Amino acid sequence: MNDISKRGEFYLGKLFDPKGNLTDLPFLYPSKDLTTHAVCVGMTGSGKTGFGIVLLEEAALDGIPAIIIDPKGDMGDLLLTFPDLKPDDFLPWIDPTEAANKGMDIKDYAKELADKWKTNLAKSGQTQKRIQELRNSVDMVIYTPASKAGISISILGSFAPPPKEVMLDSAALRERIQTTTSSLLGLLGIDADPIKSREHILISTLIDQAWQKGEEIGLAQLIQQIQKPPFTKVGVLDLETFFPTKERIALSVTLNNLLASPGFQAWLEGEPLDMQKLLYTDKGKPKLAIISIAHLTDPERMFIVTLILNELLGWVRRQSGTSSLRSLLYMDEIFGYFPPTSNPPSKLPMLTLLKQARAFGLGIVLSTQNPVDLDYKGLANCGTWIIGKLQTERDKERLIDGLQVGSRAEFNALITSTGSQKFVCNSIYLKEPFLFQTRWAMSYLKGPLTLVQISELTDHKAEPVSNVQKAGSTSSTQKPVLQPGIGEYYLNLTSYNGPVVYKPFLFATAKLHFANSKYKIDEWQDLNIVAPFTTDGQDIAWGQSEVIPDIQKNLSNDPQSNATFEDLPGLIQHQKVIATIQKQFSSYLYQDKNFTVYEFPELNTFSQPNETEAAFRLRMEELLQSKNKEKVDVLKKKYEDKISALAEKIRKQEMGLEEEKSQTFWQKIEAYFSMFMTLLGAFFSRKKLSKTTINQTGTSLRRVGRLGKNDQEVANKEENLKAYQQQLEDLQVERDTEIARLSVKEIPESAIQKVTISPKKSDIAIDRISLLWRSFPLK
Give the pLDDT confidence of 314-323 residue by residue, as tens digits.
899 888 888 8
Give the pLDDT confidence of 429-474 residue by residue, as tens digits.
988 899 999 999 999 999 999 888 898 888 534 333 222 333 335 5
Other C-beta atoms closer than 10 Å to the C-beta of 381 total: 17
Supply the pTM of this predicted model.
0.64
State how far the alpha carbon of 349 is from the alpha carbons of 178, 201, 316, 719, in Å. 10, 19, 12, 60
Average pLDDT for residues 21-33, to the nearest whole number? 94
Averaging pLDDT over each range in 50-54, 151-155, 158-162, which range is the top one? Answer: 50-54
- Judge whether residue 84 has pLDDT over 90: yes
Give the pLDDT confidence of 516-553 residue by residue, as tens digits.
888 888 888 889 999 998 877 888 888 788 888 888 88
% of the chain exceeding 90 in pLDDT: 35
Averaging pLDDT over each range in 29-38, 511-520, 628-637, 745-754, which range is the top one? Answer: 29-38
* pLDDT reported for residue 468: 31
Radius of gyration for the chain, computed over Cα atoms and rounded to the nearest angstrom: 37
Residue type, 25: L
3-class DSSP state of 400: helix
* pLDDT reported for residue 279: 94
- Judge whether residue 682 has pLDDT over 80: no
SS (H, E, C) 211-259: HHCCCCCCHHHHHHHHHCCCCCEECCEEHHHHCCHHHHHHHHHHHHHHH
How many residues are there in the chain? 779
* pLDDT reported for residue 220: 84
Among 198-212, 585-599, 608-622, which stretch is predicted with the lowest mean pLDDT?
Answer: 608-622
Averaged pLDDT score across all residues of the chain? 84
Q: Starting from the edge strand earliest in sequence, which strands make up the sheet with 605-606, in order?
A: 605-606, 595-600, 753-757
Within a 13 Å sphere around the CA of 341, how many CA atoms are in the beta-carbon half? 5
- Judge whether residue 87 has pLDDT over 50: yes
- Judge whether residue 750 has pLDDT over 80: no
* pLDDT reported for residue 364: 96
Segments making up each domain of the chain, as ranges: 154-269, 473-594+759-777, 623-743
Average pLDDT for residues 288-304, to the nearest whole number? 92
* pLDDT reported for residue 3: 77
Average pLDDT for residues 408-435, to the nearest whole number? 89
State how far the alpha carbon of 774 is from the alpha carbons of 506, 546, 717, in Å. 10, 13, 92
C-alpha–C-alpha distance, residues 419 and 193, integer Å = 42
* pLDDT reported for residue 696: 60
- Judge whether residue 705 has pLDDT over 80: no
- 440 conformational bin, left if phi > 0, alpha if psi -120 to 50, beta if neither: beta
Going by pLDDT thresholds of 50, 70 and 90, the confidence category of residue 760 is confident
* pLDDT reported for residue 681: 66
Average pLDDT for residues 687-700, to the nearest whole number? 58
* pLDDT reported for residue 135: 93
Long-range contacts of 557-561 (CB under 8 A, 24+ apart): 557/489, 557/490, 558/490, 559/479, 559/490, 559/492, 559/502, 559/773, 559/775, 560/490, 560/492, 560/500, 560/775
Strands (E), 520-594: 521-532, 546-547, 555-556, 563-566
* pLDDT reported for residue 709: 62
* pLDDT reported for residue 758: 87
Q: Are 556 and 634 in contact (CB under 8 A)?
A: no
Give the pLDDT confidence of 96-113 residue by residue, as tens digits.
878 888 888 889 999 999
Residue type, 684: F
State how far the alpha carbon of 441 is from the alpha carbons of 13, 67, 72, in Å. 10, 19, 19
- Judge whether residue 699 has pLDDT over 70: no
DSSP 430: S
Give the pLDDT confidence of 380-395 residue by residue, as tens digits.
889 999 999 987 777 7
- Judge whether residue 554 has pLDDT over 80: yes
State how far the alpha carbon of 646 is from the alpha carbons of 633, 636, 724, in Å. 20, 15, 7
Give the pLDDT confidence of 247-268 residue by residue, as tens digits.
999 999 989 888 877 678 788 8
**Do the strands 753-757 and 153-154 form a parallel or antiparallel pair, or are they unpaired?**
unpaired
Other C-beta atoms closer than 10 Å to the C-beta of 110 total: 22
Residue 149 phi/psi, 5-degree rounding, is -65, -45
Tell me the β-bridge partners of 419.
Answer: 422
Among 67-71, 126-130, 268-272, which stretch is predicted with the lowest mean pLDDT?
Answer: 268-272
C-alpha–C-alpha distance, residues 597 and 545, integer Å = 23
% of the chain exceeding 70 in pLDDT: 88
Average pLDDT for residues 576-585, to the nearest whole number? 84
Average pLDDT for residues 620-633, to the nearest whole number? 79
Average pLDDT for residues 469-493, to the nearest whole number? 69
- Judge whether residue 568 has pLDDT over 80: yes
* pLDDT reported for residue 466: 27
Q: What is the dihedral of CA 486, 487, 491, 492, to 10 degrees?
A: 100
Among 90-94, 447-451, 725-729, which stretch is predicted with the lowest mean pLDDT?
Answer: 725-729
* E strand or H helix at 461: helix 451-462
Q: What is the b/e burial string over 511-534, where b = at least 16 CB atoms within 10 angstroms of the residue's CB?
A: ebbbebeebebeeeeebbbbbbbb
∠ Cα 408 413 414 (to 5°): 100
Q: Are 211 and 263 in contact (CB under 8 A)?
A: no
